[in-house]
């Protein structure tokens, strides 16, 4: 009797498909961490809402059916008998016709001026921040990369700009620059005050970023990939813009996010002091100036509250978002 051979049971070998490890980008890492913070998400949502409010100002104002320049000085709007220039109760506060009421004195629609004022204020803040970021990044990278005499000249220039009293310089130079621009072919309408504020705020806001970028680049220039780029014959310009600056974008992004609310506040302060945006061009600072100039804040505090609350909410949201971006890009934080 022959024994039947025992066959081993068949087994299936399961091979797992290999996973490709992908690294997150700088913005991807920041966004992943921001999503985990309720405060960061709320501030991000508020910032997006404010930007959309400014971009859609013409559409929103058209839906309301008003504009920021039409004056309403008749007795049917302004109570010239009790308090001259003060709006009647039905026009002072929000209504279906005027969503935020009208301003005293000239009777212009507050919602329309707030919306178009958001455009002006954010435009000045964003463009001046862009000027500061470009100047600070390029000069700081050049100082840290080249060293020697280039570093010495740029570093002394940084010290000089940081030593100047910023506010006094801006207050004194802004009217001078406005008068110079007014003599150019572009000196029409609201271009002069907006351009002057962008140039002044941007020109005096780059020094601190340049110092921070310089410190980062001092260590980056000694890395092996910089030496490899040099050995392959890459020019200094190519190395700075393709190897050095991309590695300091985290610092630049954090600084830029924190500088935007500072420039919003600076624009409001300069317009409030009368050297920024002038009437009839709407801006939040100019609206605060109008509320103070005629002492309307005493008889019509709502006129002061509308731009004041908008300014506080905007600056606070940008500051909280800047803090969140700084924490998200902190190299000491744990990465997941």
Q: Which of 97-101, 171-175, 176-180 has the highest mean pLDDT?
A: 97-101
Q: Tell which wins on pLDDT, 287 or 174.
A: 287
| Whole-number pLDDT of residue 40 | 86
Mean pLDDT across 168-193:
74
Quote the tokens at residue 117: 């004022």
Q: What is the spatial distance between Cα 121 and Cα 282, in angstroms, rounded to a whole number?
A: 9
pLDDT given for residue 274 in this prediction: 82
d(CA 193, CA 124): 10
| Domain extents in the chain | 46-328
pLDDT number for residue 27: 67
d(CA 268, CA 287) in angstroms, rounded, equals 9
CB 254 within 8 A of CB 329: yes
Rounded Cα distance between 107 and 78, Å, is 7
Per-residue pLDDT band for 190 (boundaries 50, 70, 90) equals low
3-state DSSP: the chain helix, strand, coil percent, rounded to 5? 65, 0, 30
- The neighbouring-strand residues paired with 87 are 78
Q: What is the mean pLDDT of residues 156-173?
A: 85
Q: What tens digit of pLDDT does each residue of 141-152 get?
A: 999 999 999 999
Whether the CB-CB separation of 233 and 286 falls below 8 Å is answered with no
Distance between CA 145 and CA 15 in Å, rounded? 49
Backbone angles phi, psi at 306, to 5 degrees: -60, -60
In 3D space, the residue among 307, 301, 192, 322 whose CA is nearest the CA of residue 256 turns out to be 322
pLDDT of residue 82: 67
As a whole-number percent, the residues of the chain with pLDDT over 70 amount to 86
Catalogue the E-assigned strands of 155-306: none
- Return mean pLDDT, the chain: 84
Higher-confidence residue of 8 and 50: namely 50
Q: Does position 22 have pLDDT exceeding 60, yes or no? A: no
- Residues 219-257 pLDDT 10s: 898 888 888 888 888 888 888 888 899 889 888 988 998
In CATH terms, 46-328 corresponds, of 1.10.10.60, 3.90.1150.10, 1.10.3720.10, 3.40.140.10, to 1.10.3720.10
Question: Which residues lie closer than 8 Å to 74 by C-beta, 6 or more apart?
Answer: none
Q: Return the pLDDT at 11.
A: 46
pTM, to two decimals:
0.84
């Amino acid at each position: 009797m022959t024994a039947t051979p025992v066959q081993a049971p068949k087994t299936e070998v399961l091979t797992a498909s290999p996973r490709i490890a992908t690294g997150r980008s700088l913005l991807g890492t920041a966004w992943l961490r921001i999503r985990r913070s309720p405060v960061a998400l709320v501030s991000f949502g508020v910032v997006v809402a404010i930007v959309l409010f400014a971009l859609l100002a013409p559409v929103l104002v058209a839906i309301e059916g008003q504009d920021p320049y039409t004056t309403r000085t008749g007795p049917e709007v302004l109570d010239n008998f009790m308090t001259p220039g003060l709006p009647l109760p039905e026009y002072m506060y929000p209504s279906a016709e005027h969503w935020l009421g009208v301003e005293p004195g000239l009777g212009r629609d507050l919602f329309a001026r707030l919306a178009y004022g958001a455009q002006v204020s954010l435009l000045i803040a964003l463009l001046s921040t862009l000027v500061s970021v470009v100047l600070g990044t390029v000069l700081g990278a050049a100082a840290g990369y080249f060293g020697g005499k280039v570093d010495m000249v740029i570093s002394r220039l940084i010290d000089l700009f940081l030593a100047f009293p910023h506010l006094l310089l801006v207050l004194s130079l802004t009217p001078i620059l406005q008068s110079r621009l007014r003599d150019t072919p572009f000196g029409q309408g609201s271009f002069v005050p907006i351009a002057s504020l962008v140039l002044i705020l941007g020109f005096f806001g780059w020094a601190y970023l340049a110092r921070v970028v310089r410190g980062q680049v001092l260590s980056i220039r000694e890395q092996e990939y910089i030496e490899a780029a040099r050995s392959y014959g890459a020019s200094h310009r190519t190395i700075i813009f393709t190897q050095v600056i991309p590695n300091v974008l985290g610092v630049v992004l954090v600084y830029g996010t924190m500088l935007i609310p500072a420039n919003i506040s600076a624009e409001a302060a300069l317009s409030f002091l009368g050297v920024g945006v002038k009437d009839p061009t709407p801006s939040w600072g100019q609206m605060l100036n109008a509320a103070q100039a005629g002492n309307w804040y005493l008889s019509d505090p709502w006129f002061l509250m509308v731009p004041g609350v908008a300014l506080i909410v905007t600056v606070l949201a940008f500051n909280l978002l800047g803090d969140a971006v700084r924490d998200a890009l902190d190299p000491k934080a744990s990465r997941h």
